[in-house]
Amino acid sequence: MSSKNDSRENILSAATRLFHIQGYHATGLNQILKESGAPKGSLYYHFPNGKEQLAIEAVNMMARLIEGELREHFSLFDDPVQCIQYHIQFIAKKFDDIENLKSLPVGLMAAETSLFSEPLRTACLSAFEGWEKLYCDKLIQQGYEDTFAKEISTVINSMIEGAITRSLANKNGAPLYLAAESIQLLLKK
The full set of domains in the chain, from first to last, is 1-48 (1.10.10.60), 58-186 (1.10.357.10)
Spatial distance between the Cα atoms of 100 and 96, rounded to a whole number of angstroms: 9
User: What is the percentage of the chain residues whose pLDDT exceeds 70?
Assistant: 97
- Alpha carbon distance 90, 44 (integer Å): 36
**Cα 89 to Cα 28, 48, 66, 71, 173, distances in angstroms:** 33, 38, 13, 15, 8
Distance, CA of 3 to CA of 139 (rounded, Å) = 44
Residue 120 contacts residue 109 (beta carbons within 8 Å): yes
Interval 108-126: pLDDT, tens: 999 999 999 999 999 999 9
Alpha carbon distances (Å) from 41 to 6, 50, 56, 138: 14, 11, 20, 45
**Confidence band for 105, pLDDT divided at 50, 70 and 90:** confident
Taking 60 as the threshold, does the pLDDT of residue 1 lie above it? no
Confidence (pLDDT) at 4: 63
Q: How far apart are CA 116 and CA 76, in angstroms?
A: 40
Q: Which residues contact 16 (CB under 8 A, 6 or more apart)?
A: 58, 61, 62, 102, 104
**Looking at residue 33, what is its pLDDT?**
93
Average the pLDDT over 50-78 and give the result. Answer: 95
Amino acid letter, 67: E
CB contact set of 141 (below 8 Å; sequence gap of 6+): 80
| Confidence (pTM) | 0.91
Cα–Cα dist 56/162, whole Å: 21
Give the pLDDT confidence score for residue 17 in this predicted structure: 87
The pLDDT tens digits of the residues spanning 162-178 come to: 999 999 999 999 999 99
CB atoms < 10 A from the CB of 155, how many? 12
Distance of alpha carbon 8 from alpha carbon 38, whole angstroms? 8
